[in-house]
């Protein structure tokens, strides 16, 4: 299904709702962070508007999206299924400058510049990326297996990457004894 482009003011004024499914393969930035592009995010956007104390109208959008994504475990490097859930509220404003000022002051909702052609696919992808865990991990997993070529030939233990630094500390390879004098 093609994700529509909306006029945010009309969408909110009419209290419209749009929903659909966006394939992961169509979200290139998000797909680059995943193990597999298979699957999709289900999404729903609702608009509403209300009166401000001064009698003018204020527009709001609510985006909800969810799906199951396959990422790489930060510990064992094996695939892990991540349940992604996005629920974000936006208050619409007229200009980018207004958005910058008011977004810094606003805690309950994000401030978004109103647009005649808001691309929902980009908004959904942006929110999905921000909702990803930084370092997904299994509840219990093992350390990654050491490949055969990486172990030290003598004892089968991988070399310590910091062992070269110990010779520097003893005044070895670099000639610096750590005192600041060469």
Q: Is there a domain that residue 153 lies in?
A: no
Q: Is there a domain that residue 165 lies in?
A: no
Q: Is there a domain that residue 36 lies in?
A: yes
Mean pLDDT of 129-143: 87
| Predicted local confidence at residue 152, as pLDDT | 47
Alpha helices in the chain (DSSP H): 8-13, 28-31, 96-105, 120-131, 163-169
> Is it the case that residue 150 has pLDDT exceeding 90?
no
| Predicted local confidence at residue 164, as pLDDT | 67
| Predicted local confidence at residue 64, as pLDDT | 97
Q: Is there a domain that residue 182 lies in?
A: no
Tell me which range, 111-125, 141-155, 156-170, is most confidently predicted by mean pLDDT: 111-125
| Predicted local confidence at residue 158, as pLDDT | 63
User: Each residue of 21-70: pLDDT tens digit?
Assistant: 999 999 999 999 999 999 999 999 999 998 888 888 899 999 999 999 99
User: Each residue of 74-117: pLDDT tens digit?
Assistant: 888 899 999 999 999 999 888 788 787 777 777 778 888 888 99
Sign of the CA dihedral 4, 86, 80, 148?
positive
Query: Alpha carbon of 147 to those of 77, 150, 156, 157: distances in Å?
Result: 14, 6, 11, 11
Q: Is there a domain that residue 164 lies in?
A: no
Q: Is there a domain that residue 179 lies in?
A: no
Percent of the residues in the chain that have a pLDDT greater than 90, as a whole number? 51
Q: Is there a domain that residue 177 lies in?
A: no
- Split into its structural domains, the chain has a count of 1
> Is it the case that residue 157 has pLDDT exceeding 80?
no
Model-level pTM? 0.72
Domain that holds residue 38: 5-131
């Amino acid at each position: 299904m093609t994700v529509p482009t909306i006029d945010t003011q009309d969408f909110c004024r009419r209290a419209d709702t749009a929903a659909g499914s966006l394939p992961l393969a169509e979200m290139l930035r998000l797909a680059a962070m995943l193990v597999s592009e298979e699957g999709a995010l289900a999404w729903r956007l609702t608009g509403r508007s209300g009166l401000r104390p001064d009698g003018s109208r204020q527009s709001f959008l609510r985006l909800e999206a969810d799906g199951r994504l396959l990422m790489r475990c930060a510990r064992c490097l094996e695939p892990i299924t991540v349940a992604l859930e996005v629920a974000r509220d936006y208050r619409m404003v007229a200009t980018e400058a207004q958005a910058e000022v008011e977004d810094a002051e606003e805690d309950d909702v994000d401030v978004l510049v109103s647009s005649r052609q808001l691309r929902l696919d980009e908004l959904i992808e942006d929110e999905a990326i921000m909702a990803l865990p930084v370092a997904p991990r299994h509840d219990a997993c093992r350390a990654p297996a050491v490949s055969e070529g990486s172990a030290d030939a003598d004892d089968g233990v991988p070399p310590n990457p910091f062992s070269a630094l110990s010779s520097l500390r003893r005044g070895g390879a670099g000639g610096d004894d750590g005192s600041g004098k060469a």
